Structure 1
Amino acid sequence: YKREAFEMFHSLTERIKYEVINLISKVRVREESDVEAMENQRRRSAPVAAFHPTADAMAEEGAEVVEADPVAAAVAEDVARPKEPFKRPGRKIGRNEPCPCGSG
C-alpha cells in the first residue's frame, strides 16, 4: 500500500506541475492602458443601484409573512417568549467523579 500511495502521490504532483505549466504558458501580458480601458468600460456598463428599505417597511413585510405562514408564526411566538434558565434536577457532577449511570 505504501508503494501504491507513493505512486499516486507522485502522479498527483506531476499532474499539478503539468497544469501549472499549461496555465502559465497561456498567460498573456497586457499593457496598463488596456487594463485601464477595460476597467473603465466595466464601470460604465454596470451601474449599481442600491435600495435599502426602512426598518418600518421591513417590519410590516415581516408581519405579513408571519400572518401568512402558521409555522413562521409559531416560531415568532417562541422567539418572542423569554427563555427560562436551565435548572439541573440534581447536584452537579464533578469532572473526575464516576458517571451516575454506572458506566464508569
Structure 2
Amino acid sequence: MRLTRMTERIEFISSKPVQNDDGVMMPPSADTPPIFSCWAEVLNTPIREFKDATTKVGNRRESPNFAIKFEPQRLIDSTWKVRWRGKMYEITGIDEDFDKRDLTKLECKVAM
C-alpha cells in the first residue's frame, strides 16, 4: 500500500439536504459536516490527454482522481460529494479493489 503518498485530506459529504438552525432544509454546502474524512493520494493525470488542438497548450481539467485505503466497513456511496481544498467534487466513478483489498480509486469532477 502507498500510505506515504497519501498526503491530502479529503472529506465525504452527503448529497442529501440538511436542516439548518431555523429548520429549513438546505442543499449541502462547503460548511456541511462530513460523514467521514480520510487521507488520500491525488493520482496524476497525464497533461497530454487534455491538449487543446487549436493552441497546442495542455490544461488540466477540474477532475481529480483520488486513491484511498480500502475499507470494507465504509463503502462509499456514489451520491456523496468529496470536499478537497475547499472545493466540492461529485464522484463520477468508484473502483474498489475487492481482490487485493488495497486501494479504492475515486474519479471526481467539480460539483456544479
How high is the TM-score relative to the length of structure 1?
Answer: 0.16
Larger radius of gyration: 1
Larger RCO, structure (CA 8 Å, separation 6 or more):
2
Bigger proportion of residues as strand: 2
